[in-house]
Chain A
């Protein structure tokens, strides 16, 4: 055993670096798999709700066109609702550039526009969000935990994960 201390330190660093290098490559695979799974879930959850409003508005638009009813208020709400939904991103904006789009606000506007449309139609609103009150509120708690433990600060720009969920759970009780 005749290695000197200098080279020993070097060697330690090299072992560490080798390990780090392999670990990084492996972690990257897991990060991208896990990120995809999360993104799929969030995208589905949000757009299923938005799509619901969209389909609802489109069908009522067709009904009104067929009956050549031109009730201003209803037509106005439908146009506004479809317009708001059209503004909602289908791609996470963090992928492109930091955007100043206020997602929770847009979501709020869409929901209240949908409710306004239902009111003029004399239909009871079905808030899709309400379907999942129970699972969601518990998920939110989980989300908070896992977020702080696994998310690097750089990922805070994943806008849908936190903002909308908090938004939603906060709003659920007011309906």
Chain B
């Protein structure tokens, strides 16, 4: 076989070059093999070292307080609905009941992703990955956990269903609620309690 044919593989090419290049390429192959192996182990260990603290932080600072806020409003709205619908002069309070049903259904549309503050570190880091391109793609299977991914998919599906369902073509279903909407719903609920002369502890 002709060693100088143009089908020389990379390996063959290496042998054809001078020893210095050979040494360099061997060196860099060695270095990147071991560096990559270390990197892979390190990334897993580093991730595990920070997971718990991140969880606690997200739970205490964002998830629990926001969930409680929305939950309390829903509970209050439902208590009022059940109170009014059971009262004897129900007919005269039809407008109140309708208002409560509106509030209630708007509250039930709210998702954590609508009202959670941005995770700036996550955004910054995602941008860094964008800049890097996909250079270390195979190490980057660290994005979302299965669980969160599934929830996202579910929400997308819900959105899709909303769009397909032509019936409640209200403008409010078109865009996602925000924290301002939560505040407004709370005010509407408070105004309603005043009309009913109720003074719940807003805790």
Contact = CB atoms under 8 A, between A and B. Distances in A.
A143 B139 CA distance: 22
B44 interface: yes
B69 A37 contact: no
Interface in A93-143: 94-95, 121-124, 126, 128, 135, 138-139, 142-143
A53 B125 CA distance: 38
B69 A27 contact: no
Contacts of B41: 19-20, 23
Given A23-B41, A52-B72, A43 B203 contact: no
Given A38-B145, A66-B199, A1 B23 contact: yes
B55 A35 contact: yes
Contacts of A30: 43, 46-47, 50, 125, 142
A122 B83 CA distance: 10
A151 to B, nearest CB: 7
A48 B69 CA distance: 7
A59 B148 contact: no
Contact of A66 (B47, B144, B151, B198): B198
A91 B151 contact: no
A39 to B, nearest CB: 3
A162 to B, nearest CB: 12
Contacts of A43: 58-60, 62-67
A27 B56 contact: no
B70 interface: yes
Interface of B: 19, 22-23, 26, 30-31, 33-60, 62-80, 82-83, 86, 112, 116, 119, 121-122, 125, 139, 142, 144-148, 150-151, 154, 193, 196-203
26 contacts: A15-B30, A20-B41, A20-B45, A23-B43, A23-B44, A27-B45, A28-B49, A33-B119, A34-B54, A34-B145, A35-B54, A39-B54, A41-B147, A41-B151, A48-B74, A50-B67, A52-B78, A55-B73, A55-B77, A55-B78, A56-B79, A59-B193, A92-B60, A124-B82, A135-B150, A151-B48
